[in-house]
Amino acid sequence: MSKILNTPVSDEDLKDIRIGDVIYLNGHIVTCRDVAHRRLIEYGRELPVDIQGGAIFHAGPIVRKVEGEEKKFEMVSIGPTTSMRMEKFEKEFIEKTGVKVIVGKGGMGPNTEMGCRENKAIHCVFPAGCAVIAATEVEKIEGAYWQDLGMPETLWVCHVKEFGPLIVSIDAEGNNLFEQNKVLFNKRKDEALEELYTKVKFIK
């Protein structure tokens, strides 16, 4: 199933979306990663941009200042970073901000599953390393907050069109694609190891 979501996103919009679906996003997405999460959750600071019903992107982009113009920026290259780093903050982050779509790389854990289930939100994966594709889907950078954190950690407010492909990894029911895969991968790993052990008897 391929579907387009528009921000602001409602609970209803997420109702029929399941893990493994591919979706695209229209509207706004804000980059938000390690330190922004820390500031909100650990230091109790308020996020400088309202993301109620919105989307965040675990990403640290390369942004270029538009020469000769005040506060104008161009998105050069943007792709997802490892979402698991935000796991310890994400449940509370979802509760506090009302964010509906979290985009990143790789899976997230039980905290985020719970946050998604209780508050109706989803986590998606943008194919990592495909940062030029993502950058060309950013039509405009509309804001830049907490620039004191440096280029990767600044909150860049991006206006996007058909931003994706976004592969749903946690749905609003809390199902988790990566966790399901992990069970399968670990089973196969154990089988592979049994065979490998017979081939590495170098110390005799």
- Show which residues are catalytic: 37
Assign 131 to helix, strand or coil: helix
Which of these, 168, 184, 204, 173, lies nearest to 21 by C-alpha position? 168
Residues 2-61 interacting with another protein (rule: CB under 8 A): 20, 22, 59-61
Assign 23 to helix, strand or coil: strand
Give the one residue of 8, 98, 143, 152 binding another protein; rule: CB under 8 A. 152
Give the one residue of 130, 139, 147, 162 binding another protein; rule: CB under 8 A. 130
Q: Where are the beta strands (DSSP E) in 54-154?
A: 55-57, 62-65, 73-77, 101-104, 122-125, 138-145
76 binds another protein (CB under 8 A): yes
**Bridge partners of residue 201, in order along the sequence:** none
- Residue 32 burial by Cβ neighbours in a 10 Å radius (0-12, 13-18, 19+): buried
Please report how close the Cβ of residue 12 comes to another protein at its closest, in angstroms.
26
Residue 48: cis peptide before it, omega within 30 degrees of 0:
no
Q: Find out whether 80 and 143 touch, Cβ atoms under 8 Å.
A: no
Which of these, 86, 88, 80, lies nearest to 105 by C-alpha position? 80
Nearer to another protein, 54 or 80 (CB): 80
69 binds another protein (CB under 8 A): no
Nearer to another protein, 53 or 126 (CB): 126
- Cα dihedral 179, 57, 97, 23 in deg (nearest 10): -70
Please report how close the Cβ of residue 67 comes to another protein at its closest, in angstroms.
13
133 binds another protein (CB under 8 A): yes
Give the one residue of 1, 4, 66, 196 binding another protein; rule: CB under 8 A. 196
Give the one residue of 98, 127, 143, 174 binding another protein; rule: CB under 8 A. 127
186 binds another protein (CB under 8 A): yes
Please report how close the Cβ of residue 119 comes to another protein at its closest, in angstroms.
24
Residues that bind another protein (CB under 8 A): 20, 22, 59-62, 64, 76-79, 81-84, 105-107, 125, 127-133, 135-136, 149-152, 165, 167, 177-178, 181-182, 184-186, 188-189, 191-193, 195-197, 199-203
